[in-house]
């Protein structure tokens, strides 16, 4: 069956329908990773977006349910050059085609994803529609595309109830703004007892539970939409409990302390982004997935200073808070699959909790 991808600038790509047969409007973003398509599909940070995979063949090693980063996939749509129909992998439990169908995710294959990516790089991220309706009216569709927004997607992806992963070490409160499973796993593997809290949990409740440390997770959407959450983070900042924040959590902590954020032209989404640790001078290869960035220049240097910087474009990749046991990063040290260079940042967090506990 034919399918069409219509961009808000009027470009139309014609390909083959994959996944569910339904129409969807979403923000179109691209990811440059060569592997890890299941982890990308199940990353809650993609809620409200349709993902273009720049690598030309997707699905060749099938679906391995153990590798999912959440209980379900989150993108609105999926866009690939070629979808493998016959996976080859001893761990494979399903095909990607069936996985997309089962979760009602529409997609399109057989289009020139390199040309599409070039458009998004030159003109910036834009909205688009995936449809199988060959009689579409582009003049009627374009205004709908331009008016689409992702909205408050954190509320859509966060957990409904508190959950605890047992451990005999430090107690960590993980704020779930769209947390990938591997964040809790990285802490749990280090002996931590991890309690996962819904995004709108009040700071007073978390503090009353007396955690040794607080983790602010990744998540989707515009951080400025999370006004109530930012108010609670201000209270957590004042608590003196050690805090480690990743991606959206990094942005929310910055907003809670007077910095600003803005939308990037096309964002950072991939598994090979170099970031420099400004203390050690070491460069990490990192996994990233974000469309917004902190304006570090708007942060009071008496409150926080840059800790990491993106080697490619000079954007902020992390902050170190002055006089506080708080550090935050824009990239994903829990990356799975992908580079494990910065996984030791979890050890730094453990050390922070140890120092605070023995102070």
pTM recorded for the entire structure: 0.96
What per-residue confidence (pLDDT) applies to 358?
Answer: 87
Per-domain residue ranges of the chain: 2-147, 154-358
Q: Which fold has domain 2-147?
A: Glucose Oxidase; domain 1 (3.50.30)
pLDDT of 359: 76
pLDDT at position 337: 74
* Residue 151: per-residue pLDDT: 87
Could you tell me if 52 and 74 are in contact, meaning their C-beta atoms sit under 8 angstroms apart?
Answer: no
Which residue ranges are tagged as binding site?
Answer: 45, 219, 221, 248, 251, 289, 291-292
153 in Cβ contact with 196 (< 8 Å) = no
- pLDDT per residue over 307-345, tens digit each? 999 999 999 999 999 999 999 999 999 987 778 888 899
Residues in the annotated binding site for L-glutamine: 45, 219, 221, 248, 251, 289, 291-292
Active-site hit among 27, 232, 247, 273: 247
Low-confidence ranges of the chain (pLDDT < 50): none
pLDDT, residue 85, reads: 87
What's the pLDDT tens digit per position in 191-237?
A: 999 999 999 999 999 999 999 999 999 999 999 999 999 999 999 99
For domain 154-358, the question of CATH label 3.40.50.880 is answered with yes
Please say if 273 is a catalytic residue: no
Q: What is the pLDDT of residue 195?
A: 98
Q: What sign results for the dihedral spanned by CA atoms 198, 203, 205, 209?
A: positive
pLDDT value at residue 81: 98
Mean pLDDT of the chain: 96
Does the annotation count 98 as an active-site position? no
Is-catalytic flag, 192?
no
């Amino acid at each position: 069956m034919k399918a069409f991808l219509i961009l808000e600038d009027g470009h139309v790509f014609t390909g083959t329908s994959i996944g569910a047969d339904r129409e969807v409007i979403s923000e179109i973003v691209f990811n440059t990773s060569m592997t890890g398509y299941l982890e990308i599909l199940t990353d809650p940070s993609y809620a409200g977006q349709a993902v273009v995979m720049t690598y030309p063949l997707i699905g060749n090693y099938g679906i391995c349910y153990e590798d999912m980063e959440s209980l379900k996939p989150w993108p609105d749509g999926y866009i690939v050059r070629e979808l493998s129909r016959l996976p080859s992998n001893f761990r494979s439990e399903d095909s990607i085609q069936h996985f997309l169908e089962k979760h009602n995710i529409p997609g399109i294959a057989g289009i020139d994803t390199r040309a599409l990516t070039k458009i998004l790089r030159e003109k910036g991220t834009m909205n688009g529609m995936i449809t199988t309706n060959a009689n579409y009216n582009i003049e009627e569709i374009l205004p709908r595309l331009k008016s689409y927004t992702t909205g408050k997607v954190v509320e859509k992806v966060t957990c409904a109830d508190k959950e605890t992963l047992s451990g005999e070490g430090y107690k960590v409160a993980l704020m779930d703004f769209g947390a990938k499973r591997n964040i809790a796993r990285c802490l749990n593997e280090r002996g931590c007892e991890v309690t996962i809290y819904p995004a709108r949990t009040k700071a007073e409740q978390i503090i009353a539970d007396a955690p040794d440390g607080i983790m602010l997770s990744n998540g989707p959407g515009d951080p400025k939409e999370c006004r109530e959450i930012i108010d609670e983070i201000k209270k957590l900042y004042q608590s003196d409990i050690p805090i480690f924040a990743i991606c959206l959590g990094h942005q929310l902590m910055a907003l809670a302390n007077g910095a600003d954020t803005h939308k990037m032209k096309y964002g950072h989404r991939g598994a090979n982004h170099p970031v420099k640790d400004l203390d050690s001078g070491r460069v990490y290869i990192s996994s990233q997935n974000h469309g917004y960035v902190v304006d570090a220049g708007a942060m009071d240097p008496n409150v926080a200073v840059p800790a990491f910087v993106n080697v490619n474009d000079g954007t902020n990749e992390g902050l170190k808070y002055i006089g506080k046991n708080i550090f935050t990063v824009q990239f994903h040290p829990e990356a799975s699959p992908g580079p494990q260079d910065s996984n030791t940042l979890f050890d730094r967090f453990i050390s922070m909790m140890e120092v605070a506990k023995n102070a």
